[in-house]
Structure 1
Amino acid sequence: MLLREREHALDLLETHARSAVRGCGSVVLVTGEAGIGKTVLLRELVERTRSAAGSLWGMCDPLSTPRPLGPLRDVARALGGGVPELLRAGADQHEVFATVVDALRGRPRVFVVEDLHWADEATLDLVRFLARRIEALPLLLVLSFREPLPPDNPLVPVLGDLVASAGAGRVSLAPLSVEAVAALLDRDERDAAEVHRRTAGNPFFVSQIAAQPDSPLPGSVRDAVLARIAGLAPFARHCLELLSCTPEPVGRELLAALDMTPTTVGVLCATGLVDRRGHGVVFRHEIARSAVLEAAAPGSEPALHAAMTTALEAVDADLSVLAHHAAAAGDTARILRYASAAAVEASRSGAHRESVSFFETALRVAEDPATRAGLLEAVADEYYLTDRLGSAIGARERALELRRGLDDAVAVGSGHSALSNYAWYSADRAAAERHDEAALEILAAAGDRWALGMTLAHHAFLAAQRGDVDEAQRSVEAATRIADELDDSRGAAVLRGAARLGRGVTRLANGEVAGREDLLAAAEAGLRHRDDDLTTTPMSNLCAFDVAQGRFAEAEVSVARALEVSEDRDTPICSAWQRGVRARLRLLQGRWAEAERDARTVLRSGDLPLSQLWPNLVLGLLLARREAPRHNPYLDELWRLASKLDTPGVVGPAAAALAENAWITRTPDPRLDRPPFAEAPGLAVWTRRLTGEPGPAEPPSVLPYERALALWDSGSGEDLLAALAAVDELGAKAVADLVRARLREAGVSGIPRGRQPATRANPAGLTARQLDVLALLVDGLTNADIATRLVISPRTADHHVSAILAKLEVHTRAEAAAAAVRLGVTTASRAAG
């Protein structure tokens, strides 16, 4: 189909391609409704840039469960550089992604990823990974997707990262005009306005009508497609229906396995619905494929999928594709075989959400108790890693009942140990310890040394958390002895890593900084042996201890590394906890806007109670310091969680938060008189502040809020004025009111009024008008466009943009847009308002 009314879009894409050839890469989003011409536009781009840049074309397909890294698998052979070998070996994401970047450095390329709205989580991670590094690559990364996107589509949160990347562009394709429709109809005598009305200017629909000038005007795209195949011979139509049951391109080997000769392929391509792609074929559009499949004889679809499964087996196809067709065919044996294997492969690749979907597909048909129990145990681990703790607990409890019926003592003991771990993350220490005791008792008599060793390592972790250092050390030593006895290298190594996790937590809880090395070694063992729980749990504990024990420089590194690993391995349960830890760190550092954003992000997503601990502390303290309300729901939830956990590392900070709130609101909190808070250390200083009694001077702090509190404790007029400036700068209005009242009581005059509300409402100190300008800048508008939109002069717009760059401490508009997205100081909806 000829390109119509796409010249501007093509020019923009070619401009980005030329920049990529010069070594400055970028991301361009190409969006629009189905059939709007995204694929045609991108094929023309690839053709025009072929002499200057190599092309890579990957597709996301509407499989029941997406292929992990499907688009990368499509281009792996062309990309080379070791990427195909790593994918076949199921290498870690971070290793695959790093290798992809190295391979892309070699020469300029245009990499098209089509239909990103169907992408798996691993592909979205790859896209983000490339976008962060795009400026230094000779790469134009073109991402097409349909709009509008449903709010729950995984692509939605990724788009913010993509538009903030350097030099990012966006092309939104609009329907064709009546004039363009008339040009496409050419000599067709049908009324262009009527065709435009029927098609709403959709290029694909128009092209189907234009290809049938002597046919009645169809009422829908489906009618137009079916008219193209009405005259096919029965065998040719069967072949077309067979191709329509798979959303992926069909290569030469698969065509042969389906007994489709070149002659038959030629007949199918003559319909205009199927195009040749290399040595294979692909439907021109998903609309056409769906229309053909839907028009197949009722009840014939399972047989089509069964035939496709047999052919795919002959060519050793992807497990995910085999699982899709086996499920559509209703073939129980094949579903169990391929969905289970695809789930394991996805998990090893770090695509845990896809792994869940594959396991759930297998569970729908599994009836044998042992098979069903194994699937439930496996999917529980994936639920846990993907922050679906309630589902994980439910699956493990059902598996435990099945294992009891099978009289499988080792599996029953291991089930209790797993449930102990889940209960801990549910912030239910009592339940965690009940399951832990049951697991130890059963496994001590069951004879499986490895299972007992893993439970001892977990037992050490729980003992260390409650402060029982001696018990923790004994359990670590016992687990390590078992690891030394084992012959199985991987099992022994994983157990030894789990024991080092327990030892690291024990030593850090006891104040021994050397425990950091144990946790780093445990995480390294997890990475080496592809055990994502063992990889991420030590990192989560390391960053939490670094923050809690005041190693802030180390915390910056350990938090960043922990989040990087958790995101690479697609383990949102760990990301949620780590983001909460980062919120606590940012609160202590005085970076309150960032702390609040992290905390709210955690509370909005997932169902992990333990991860909500620090976000509730952060939001509760921010609410107290800013507004001092009578009721603080965040601190109430913090109190509930801390009471259930009852561990020193949680009770101390929670008690301090309640005491600070009591000081700010001048209202004693009776909860501080009850266990476990009554015994918490560090409450005396807050009691003194609340009663006004003098006490020992606090040592100087590098943390801005704590430094202001030390100035409050000093009580001199000069120190109180310095404290006032500090809390005003932080936006702690309620605390500032306390300081001003004390200054007035001391007879100090000329007390500063503080920052104005318009600039206190955002972390960069932007005015309301500057926020409006920044919102439009994020959307990619020029200064002239901003001036027009806000009805101001171009010079005024220039001044606003310059002021914004200065306040954000950045040098370019792209950096300002990225900072705005990162800090959350503006949204497009604000500008529209």
Structure 2
Amino acid sequence: MSSASQILERESELVRIATALDEAAAGSGRVIVIEGAAGIGKTALVREARELARRRGYGRLQAIGDETETPLAWGVVRQMVERSISRYSGEVRDAILAGPAGRALQALDVAPASGASDAEVARTLHALWWVAIDLSSTRPLLITVDDAQWSDQPSLRFLGYLARRIADLPIALVVATRPPSGGSGPLTELTVSPYVERLLPEPLSPVAVAAFHTPDGVVPCAAVVEAMHAACGGNPFLTGALLDELGSAGHDVSHPATAEAISGLGPATISRAMLSRLSPEALALAGAAAVLGFEASPWLAGRVAEVPPDALPEAVASLVRANVLVGGVDGLTFVHPVIREATVSALGPLQCSAMHARTVRELHAREVPAAQLAPHLLAAPVGTLADAAELLARAAAESAAAGDA
């Protein structure tokens, strides 16, 4: 993908993150919330935080909020734990499960459901807090949550609980989110907490946009830079996506006349343009991945998209080449939420509903938990499953803690 050679105009944010990590390593826990619009560079800062922590010998837990998993109570916390052990097997995995990670999963397995009292929820929060303490007992710990605006409510409560209790612990918590909506709730409380340092990345200046270049190193001329900045508003992700589209359309970004081709383009247009050059199979697969959510199984996505098995590998490869998706056999993830949202928009309501219906049938056949099935069932046509009412009632019982908490 077109890019600049480095993360641009984020020097102050990187210094503050590095300082927070150094202070946490010395035993003074720190909490940072990175807040901004889609594409402004929050994910890049989270990635830099993880790299800075790796160099400092930190243990690292991470999770990414996903819109389709928002109803799953404790889903983000569970993701942190499961991601930390999924790459291991055999005796190593057994040893990990015998330690704090295993205790975290045990706490989540008995986490309160519908009708839980505050005391029951507090016990789960406290148990998870002790797991974090144990994980940070041998080396400092960094916990990162990206796209926190899509996190489930109990997990957000845990992040707030942790944020208030790590001042004397070698733990750094970094949460990236779009601006919270609604004016209340655990995410809003976290972003305005006195325990939290907020980072608000600004749009890039035209000088920074001028540092972008095409994959083959061509730097846009001044007129094109000005037009790109006007079209993308200094949004780093959309700037790179626009530069990609100009190159794919055969425009010479070093020529001033190319500025005229940019006139009138905006974020939605840029994202849709990225999808317009995909094959029908690849576009359908992208749609299925958008419906399925974070780290969608390519095999399941292929069945939902009705892509023939022999065409699936090339469809996945083309989406990776087009910088729409990353990943492969282990799971497919959109390069950026903006592209995912554009993909859903490109599907249209009828096709999207049909994909949710196929997802419901596939997941139901695999006997997944009702709470995992419910978001797709609600978006599918009435009559998709005969026992829909029973499944939705069961899902409410499994995840009502999200609303109660």
TM-score by length of 2: 0.77
Tell me how far apart the structure 1 counterparts of residues 47 and 364 of structure 2 sit (CA, whole Å): 31
1:343 match: 396
Distance change >3 Å, CA 37–CA 159, structure 1 → 2:
closer
Q: Say whether residues 1:128 and 2:166 are aligned partners.
A: no
Q: Which amino acid aligns with 2:163?
A: A
Q: What is the CA deviation profile of residues 609-638 of structure 1, one whole-angstrom value per residue up to 9, with x for unaligned ones?
A: xxxxxxxxxxxxxxxxxxxxxxxxxxxxxx
Q: Aligned residues: percent identity? A: 26
The alpha-carbon deviation at position 135 of structure 1 amounts to: 1.5
Instruction: Describe the superposition over 1:405-448 as per-residue Cα deviations: whole angstroms up to 9, x where unpaired.
Output: xxxxxxxxxxxxxxxxxxxxxxxxxxxxxxxxxxxxxxxxxxxx
Per-residue deviation, 1:115: 2.5
The one-letter code sitting in structure 1 at the alignment partner of 2:338 is I
Within a 5 Å distance, the mapping from 1:73-152 to structure 2 comes to 73-77=78-82, 78=84, 80-91=101-112, 92-105=120-133, 106-107=135-136, 108-147=140-179, 149-152=181-184
| Deviation sequence 1:46-74 (CA, Å, 0-9, x none) | 12322411222223333496321221021
Name which of 216, 220, 223 aligns with 1:188: 220
Shift of 1:335: 3.7
Opposite residue 243 of structure 2, the aligned amino acid is A
In structure 2, the residue matched to 1:654 is none
Paired residues of 2:69 and 2:152 also in contact (CA < 8 A): no
Contact persistence 2:292–2:301 (CA under 8 A): no
Does the 8 Å CA contact 1:59/1:115 hold for their aligned counterparts? yes
In the alignment, residue 35 of structure 2 is paired with which amino acid?
A: T
2:274 to 212, 220, 228: 228
Q: Does 1:39 align with 2:43?
A: yes
1:208 Cα deviation (Å)? 0.5
CA offsets, 1:214-234, max 9 Å, x none?
334261222212222223222
Equivalent residues of 1:113, 1:142 under 8 A apart: yes
The verdict on how the C-alpha distance between 1:315 and 1:180 changes in structure 2, with shifts beyond 3 A counting, is farther
Counterpart code for 1:312? L
Q: 1:137 to 1:307 in 2, by over 3 A?
A: farther
Q: Which residue of 2 aligns with 1:281?
A: 332
Deviation of 1:344 after TM superposition, in Å, equals 0.7
Distance in 1 (CA, whole Å) between partners of 2:61 and 2:366 is 23
Q: 2:232, 2:238 within 8 Å by CA — same for their partners in 1? A: yes
3-state SS of the aligned residue for 1:275? strand
Residues 1:303 and 1:9: Cα distance change in structure 2 (over 3 Å)? same
Q: Is the 8 A contact 2:295 2:330 kept in 1?
A: no
| Structure 2 residue aligned with 1:178 | 206
C-alpha distance in structure 1 between counterparts of 2:243 and 2:369, whole Å: 38
Q: Offset at 1:267?
A: 1.7
> 2:245 is aligned with what amino acid?
Q
Aligned with 2:296: secondary structure?
Answer: coil
Q: What's the secondary structure of 1:142's corresponding residue?
A: strand
2:160, 2:189 within 8 Å by CA — same for their partners in 1? Answer: no
Tell whether 2:324 aligns with 1:319.
no
Alignment of structure 1 residues 258-273 onto 2, 5 Å = 261-273=312-324
Does residue 1:12 correspond to 2:16, yes or no? yes
Deviation at 1:322, TM superposition (A): 1.2
Give the Cα separation in 2 of the matches to 1:252 and 1:224.
25
CA distance in 2, matches of 1:333, 1:137: 52
Which has the larger Rg? Answer: 1
* Matching residue's letter, 1:53: Y
The answer as to 2:311 corresponding to 1:306 is no
Aligned amino acid, residue 146 of structure 1? R
Secondary structure, aligned partner of 2:175: strand
1:24 equivalent among 11, 23, 28:
28
Contact 1:104/1:138 (<8 A) preserved:
no
Provide the rounded CA distance (Å) in 2 between the counterparts of 1:313 and 1:84: 24
Q: What letter matches 1:337 in structure 2?
A: E
**Cα separation, 2, equivalents of 1:242 and 1:81:** 33
- 2:91 maps to none
Per the alignment, do residues 257 and 103 of structure 1 end up closer, same or farther by CA in structure 2, a change over 3 Å counting?
farther
Amino acid across the alignment from 2:397: V
- Residue in 2 aligned with 1:55? 60
Amino acid in structure 2 at the alignment position of 1:283: F
Structure 2 vs 1, CA of residues 53 and 254 (structure 1 numbering), >3 Å: closer, same or farther? farther
Supply the AA of the counterpart residue of 2:266.
Answer: S
User: Match of 2:386?
Assistant: 333
Q: Take 1:324 and 1:298, find their aligned partners in 2: how far apart are those partners? A: 15
Distance 1:227 1:9, change over 3 A: same
**1:764-797, CA deviations, whole angstroms, 9 ceiling, x for partnerless residues?**
xxxxxxxxxxxxxxxxxxxxxxxxxxxxxxxxxx
**TM-aligned CA distance change 1:158 to 1:43, over 3 Å:** closer
Counterpart-to-counterpart distance in 2, 1:252 and 1:136: 43
Contact between 1:117 and 1:153, CA under 8 Å: does it hold in 2? no
TM-score normalised to the size of structure 1? Answer: 0.39
Q: 2:239 matched to which residue of 1?
A: 206
Distance 1:318 1:21, change over 3 A: farther
> Is contact 1:327-1:335 (8 Å) kept?
no
Task: Give secondary structure in 1 for the equivalent of 2:80.
Answer: helix
- In the superposition, relative to structure 1, how do residues 346 and 149 fare at CA in structure 2: closer, same or farther (>3 Å)? closer
3-state SS in 2 of match to 1:13: helix
Secondary structure at the counterpart of residue 129 of structure 1 = helix
Contact 1:275/1:282 (<8 A) preserved: yes
Alpha-carbon separation, structure 2, partners of 1:75 and 1:315: 24
Distance in 2 separating the partners of 1:261 and 1:314: 21
Task: Name the structure 1 match of 2:288.
Answer: 242
Find the residue that maps to 2:125 and give its secondary structure: helix
Please give the residue correspondences for 1:452-531 in structure 2 after superposition, counting only pairs within 5 Å: none
| 1:155 correspondence with 2:187 | yes
Q: Corresponding residue for 1:471?
A: none
Gaps of 5+ in 1: 354-385, 387-569, 571-833
Q: How does 1:590-739 map to 2 (within 5 A)?
A: none
Q: Which has the higher helix share?
A: 1
- Cα distance in 2, alignment partners of residues 159 and 31 from structure 1: 8
1:340 maps to a residue whose letter is A
Deviation of 1:119 (Å): 3.5
Q: Which amino acid is 2:125 matched to?
A: F
Q: Against the structure 1 CA distance between its residues 13 and 305, is the aligned structure 2 distance closer, same or farther, given a 3 Å change threshold?
A: same
Is residue 320–residue 342 contact of structure 1 (8 Å, CA) maintained in 2?
A: yes
> Any conservation in 2 of the 1:57–1:112 contact (CA below 8 Å)?
yes
Aligned mates of 1:148, 1:72 — CA distance in 2: 19
CA distance in 2: counterparts of 1:265 and 1:55, whole angstroms: 29
1:677-826 alignment runs, 5 A limit: none
Q: 1:340 to 1:57 in 2, by over 3 A?
A: same
Does 125-134 or 296-305 show the bigger shift? 296-305
Secondary structure, counterpart of 2:245 in structure 1: coil
CA contact (8 A) 1:110 1:142 kept: yes
CA shift, 1:195, in A, is 0.9
Q: 1:291 aligns with which of 312, 331, 342?
A: 342
Report the more deviating stretch, 109-118 or 255-264: 255-264
Tell me whether 229-238 or 143-152 shows the greater mean CA deviation: 143-152
